[in-house]
Amino acid sequence: MTALGSAARPEPQSFERVLSSMCTEPHPAAREAATHFLATNPGDPDTYPAVAALEREVVSMLGDVVDHQDPTGYVATGGTEANIQAVRAARNLAATDDPNVVGPESLHFSFQKAADVLDVDLRLAPVDEDYRADVDAIADRIDDDTVLVVGIAGTTEYGRVDPIPALSDVARDADARFHVDAAWGGFALPFTDEQWNFAHADIDTMTIDPHKLGQAAIPAGGFIATDERTLDALAVDTPYLESTGQATLTGTRSGAGVASAHAALSAQWPDGYRENYETGMNLATWFAEEMRVRGYDVVSPHHPIVAVDIPTGDFEALTEAGWRLARTSAGELRVVMMPHVTRDSLAGFLADVDDLASSGEER
């Protein structure tokens, strides 16, 4: 029998042993909405006005999450697109022909893509001993050709929040734009006392991903800007569409992301997300302590991400046992307490860690 004729329906992997991903199972309402709007194209809002109206609502709802009264922006394919667009807007609005972008070395790799595609120089500054951007080191790398300074609100590896207000000041002093990457952290930080959003600092653009902690279906990223000037700097004319201009990086894009972000935000903001944050933070604190008492070095979680220094052999054995794990660039095991990660699944993981230790003793 050929593959085409095969009766078996392909199945996606289960989330049960996925510990390092920043994606998760969509909220049930988000899954339903994604299917319902699958065949719409918000890339052509005049032809698909229903999804276009939903998208405007999503931007306004994201404004509530990031504390901006009157945000503009759109639902991107993810944090990567939103970060590229932040760099692109800054480059297009600046006068220099030799632009550079300055940020901490903890920046997500999407900025490497942005620098490559847009032909801007990416200048990375070392972080401090707690993995946060060092403001003086950032300031040292800024010059007259700096078009954008980037701070991270929830780093991908350690969940750290850079000193956003101070970075914003440094950017302003240099007449550069300021972007905050809250792709992962955006749906966690509203429930903390971190200084990270539009009410805390002078911010031009922000990335916040509904398809991570926002529990929307992929692809749903958020690109948020303070003024229309940013979108104007990104827009191109669009002949052969009913709509006359387009500021997104993609052309045709699925309305599934837009509709699912709308459904997830409607269902979960703010109480559902707060509950996720509190559950995730409790798990992170507990899991960090469980690994510590087993003798491992743990990077203390500020938010629901735990990094643990474990030997390569252990990492490989746990991967072999079916755990889906990733490492930080320094080599630590990284566990992200997404909504699908439970105390039961982590207890199963710890049991496997204990088996490693006892089989090690027998050897």
Q: Residue 206 pairs with which residues in a beta bridge?
A: 180, 224
Strands 236-237 and 221-225: unpaired
Q: Which stretch binds ligand PLP (CB under 6 A): 35-43, 84-92, 179-187, 254-262?
A: 179-187
Q: Out of 181, 204, 290, 332, which residue is the one contacting ligand PLP (CB under 6 A)?
A: 181
80 binds ligand PLP (CB under 6 A): yes
- HSE-CB of 29 using CA atoms within 13 angstroms: 10
Looking at beta carbons only, is 78 or 280 nearer to ligand PLP?
78
Q: Which residue, 223 or 287, is less far from ligand PLP as judged by CB? A: 223
In sequence order, the 6+-apart residues with CB closer than 8 A to the CB of 286 are 343, 346
CB of 334 to ligand PLP, least distance (A): 11
Residue at token pair 């996925």: 18
CB of 137 to ligand PLP, least distance (A): 19
Q: Which stretch binds ligand PLP (CB under 6 A): 3-11, 53-61, 73-81, 317-325?
A: 73-81
User: H or E segment at 61?
Assistant: helix 49-65
Query: Is residue 156 a contact residue for ligand PLP (CB under 6 A)?
Result: yes
Q: Where are the beta strands (DSSP E) in 211-262?
A: 221-225, 236-237, 245-246
Could you tell me the smallest distance in angstroms from the CB atom of residue 185 to ligand PLP?
Answer: 7
Smaller CB distance to ligand PLP: residue 58 or 353?
A: 58
Residue 305, strand partner residues: 336
Can you tell me which of 221, 257, 301, 304 binds ligand PLP, judged by CB under 6 A? 221
The least distance separating ligand PLP from the CB of residue 159, rounded to whole angstroms, comes to 9
Please report which helix (H) or strand (E) contains residue 92, including its range: helix 79-93
| Spatial contact of 206 and 224, defined as CB atoms under 8 Å apart | yes
Residues 6+ apart with CB under 8 A from 306: 284, 287, 288, 291, 298, 299, 334, 335, 337
Query: For ligand PLP, how many residues bind (rule: CB under 6 A)?
Result: 14
277 part of the interface to ligand PLP, by CB under 6 A: no
- The smaller minimum CB distance to ligand PLP, of residues 328 and 353, is found at 328
By the rule CB under 6 A, 189 interacts with ligand PLP: no
Which of 209, 298, 304, 332 is in the footprint of ligand PLP by CB under 6 A?
209
Question: Per the structure block, which two tokens stand in for 249?
Answer: 């990086």
In this complex, which beta carbon is closest to ligand PLP, that of residue 74 or of residue 184?
Answer: 184
* Minimum distance of ligand PLP from residue 355's CB (angstroms): 32
Site for ligand PLP in 86-115 (CB under 6 A): 108, 110
Tokens of 193: 């006392």
Minimum gap (Å) between residue 115 Cβ and ligand PLP: 14
The answer to whether residues 214 and 207 touch, using CB atoms and an 8 Å cutoff, is: no
Q: Which residue is nearest to ligand PLP (CB)?
A: 79
CA 120 – CA 219 distance, rounded (Å): 26
Residue 155 is encoded by which pair of tokens?
Answer: 């780093």
Does residue 183 bind ligand PLP (CB under 6 A)? yes
H helix or E strand, kind and range, residue 287: helix 271-293
Residues binding ligand PLP (CB under 6 A): 22, 78-80, 83, 108, 110, 152, 156, 181, 183-184, 209, 221
